C-alpha cells in the first residue's frame, strides 16, 4: 500500500492559531491535535486504502489528514462551520494532485442524504461482505445521539448510506454514551440505546480518549465506537414500533419490567393486558428491564403487536398524555432526550 505524502503543512495547532479559530460551544467543537491519536482512530476504522470514506465534522482536519495518509479512493467531508473552509479548501487543492477524490460539503450532517455522497461502484448486497465504504467522525456531542439514532433507523431500512450495503461506522461519543451503546444485559449502563444499537448492529468500544487530549478540554472522556450492521437484525419489527415498546420497558429503571410495560396500556386494562403480554412472551414479570436480552425484548414486542391487532384501540394509547405531560412526538419520531435519560 502506498501512503499519500502530503507536502509539509502547518500543524493543526498552528492552523487553529493562524486562522484564529476559537472553538464554538454550540457546535461542540473539541479539537484533536495529537496525530498519534487521530491515526489511532483511523486505524480502528479498518482497511480504508482504496475505499470511500465519509468524515463527519472534519473541523481543522486532524482526522482528515490521518485518513488521507491511508490513500482512500474517495473522501467526502461534511462540515457545518464555514470558518474551516479556507483550511479544508487548501487541503482539497493539495490532494487534487493525487489519486484521491476529495469532496467538501459545507452543510449539516443531519440534513445530508448519505446515499448520494458515495459512488455505487463499491455497492454490495446486504448479505455479502461489508462494502469498501466507511463513515468516521469525531462527532459533536450535541448531535451524536440524534445522529446514531437516525442512522440506526436508516440501517433498519437499508436506506441512505446503507443502500450501498453494510457500511461500517466508527464514531466518537461521550464516554458514558459509548458505554451505554455497548452495555450488555445486567450491565449498569444497559438502557434503550444499548438495545437499539445491538438489535441492528454489532457495536464495539474500541478505546477511550481522555478529555485532556482535546482542545478545549471537554468535561468528559470520549469513547470511540465502531458499528458493523448485522446481516440479520435481531428483530423483524419496524424500528419505530420496536423503539416504542423498548422506550416503555426502560421507562423506570428500578421497577419490575412488567410495571414499565404496563404504561403501554390504558389504566383500566393495564394489569390484565400486561400480564397477558408477559405470558405470551414467556418472560418472568419479576425481572427488571436491564436484565432482558434483545431476544426477550423482541418477544415482548411481538406479544404487544399481537395485542394491538386484537385490541386496535390500544395502539393510540398515550401514557404521557394521560398523565397530562405535553409530548409532541411519541410514536412518529423519537425523542433524543429520552435516550439520554435512561
Q: Which residues are annotated binding-site positions for S-adenosyl-L-methionine? A: 30, 32, 57, 79, 108, 138
| Grid cell locating 62 | 486532524
**Shortest distance in whole angstroms from residue 60 CB to ligand SAM:** 6
**Shortest distance in whole angstroms from residue 176 CB to ligand SAM:** 16
152 binds ligand SAM (CB under 6 A): no
- Interface residue with ligand SAM among 58, 72, 131, 165 (CB under 6 A) is 58
**Shortest distance in whole angstroms from residue 159 CB to ligand SAM:** 19
Distances (CA, A) of 194 to 26, 59, 75, 179: 26, 29, 30, 9
Contact 57, 79 (CB under 8 A): yes
Neighbours of 284 (CB within 10 A): 12
- Interface residue with ligand SAM among 15, 21, 29, 145 (CB under 6 A) is 29
- Interface residue with ligand SAM among 80, 164, 237, 288 (CB under 6 A) is 80
- Closest to 150 (Cα-Cα) out of 159, 141, 137: 159
Contact 20, 50 (CB under 8 A): no
**Shortest distance in whole angstroms from residue 328 CB to ligand SAM:** 22
DSSP per position, 222-291: EEEEEEEE-SS-S--S-HHHHHHHHHHHTS-TTSBHHHHHHTTS-GGGHHHHHHHHHHHHT--TTSBGGG
Residues 107-146 that bind ligand SAM (CB under 6 A): 108-110, 138, 140, 143
Task: Give Cα 286 distance to the centre of its chain.
Answer: 32
- Interface residue with ligand SAM among 4, 6, 27, 308 (CB under 6 A) is 27
31 binds ligand SAM (CB under 6 A): yes
Contact 42, 222 (CB under 8 A): no
Stretches 89-97, 105-113, 229-237, 303-311: which one binds ligand SAM (CB under 6 A)? 105-113
59 binds ligand SAM (CB under 6 A): yes
Nearer to ligand SAM, 171 or 258 (CB): 171
3-state secondary structure of 142: helix
Residues that bind ligand SAM (CB under 6 A): 27-32, 56-59, 62-63, 78-81, 108-110, 138, 140, 143
Amino acid at each position: 500500500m502506498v501512503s499519500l505524502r502530503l507536502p509539509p503543512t502547518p500543524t493543526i495547532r498552528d492552523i487553529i492559531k493562524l486562522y484564529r479559530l476559537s472553538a464554538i460551544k454550540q457546535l461542540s467543537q473539541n479539537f484533536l491535535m495529537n496525530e498519534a491519536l487521530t491515526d489511532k482512530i483511523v486505524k480502528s476504522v479498518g482497511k480504508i486504502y482504496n475505499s470511500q470514506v465519509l468524515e463527519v465534522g472534519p473541523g481543522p482536519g486532524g482526522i482528515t489528514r490521518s485518513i488521507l495518509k491511508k490513500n482512500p479512493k474517495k473522501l467526502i467531508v461534511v462540515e457545518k462551520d464555514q470558518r474551516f473552509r479556507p483550511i479544508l479548501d487548501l487541503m482539497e487543492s493539495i490532494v487534487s494532485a493525487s489519486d484521491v477524490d476529495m469532496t467538501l460539503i459545507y452543510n449539516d450532517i443531519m440534513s445530508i442524504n448519505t446515499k448520494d455522497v458515495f459512488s455505487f461502484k463499491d455497492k454490495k448486497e446486504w448479505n455479502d461482505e461489508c462494502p469498501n465504504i466507511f463513515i468516521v467522525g469525531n462527532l459533536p456531542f450535541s448531535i451524536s445521539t440524534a445522529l446514531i439514532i437516525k442512522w440506526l433507523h436508516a440501517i433498519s431500512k437499508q436506506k441512505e448510506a446503507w443502500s450501498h450495503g453494510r457500511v461500517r461506522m466508527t464514531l466518537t461519543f461521550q464516554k458514558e454514551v459509548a458505554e451505554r451503546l455497548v452495555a450488555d444485559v445486567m450491565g449498569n449502563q444497559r438502557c434503550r440505546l444499548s438495545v437499539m444499537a445491538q438489535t441492528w448492529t454489532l457495536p464495539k468500544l474500541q478505546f477511550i480518549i481522555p478529555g485532556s487530549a482535546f482542545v478545549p478540554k471537554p468535561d468528559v472522556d470520549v469513547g470511540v465506537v465502531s458499528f458493523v450492521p448485522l446481516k440479520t437484525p435481531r428483530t423483524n419489527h419496524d424500528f419505530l414500533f420496536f423503539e416504542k415498546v423498548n422506550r416503555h420497558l426502560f421507562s423506570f429503571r428500578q421497577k419490575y419490567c412488567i410495571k414499565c410495560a404496563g404504561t403501554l396500556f390504558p389504566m383500566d386494562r393495564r394489569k390484565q393486558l400486561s400480564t397477558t403480554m408477559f405470558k405470551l412472551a414467556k418472560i418472568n414479570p419479576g425481572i427488571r428491564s436491564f436484565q432482558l436480552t434483545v431476544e426477550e425484548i423482541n418477544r415482548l414486542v411481538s406479544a404487544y403487536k399481537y395485542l394491538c391487532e386484537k385490541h386496535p384501540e390500544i395502539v393510540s394509547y398515550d401514557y404521557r398524555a394521560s398523565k397530562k405531560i405535553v409530548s409532541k412526538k411519541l410514536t412518529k419520531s423519537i425523542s433524543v432526550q429520552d435516550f439520554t435519560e435512561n
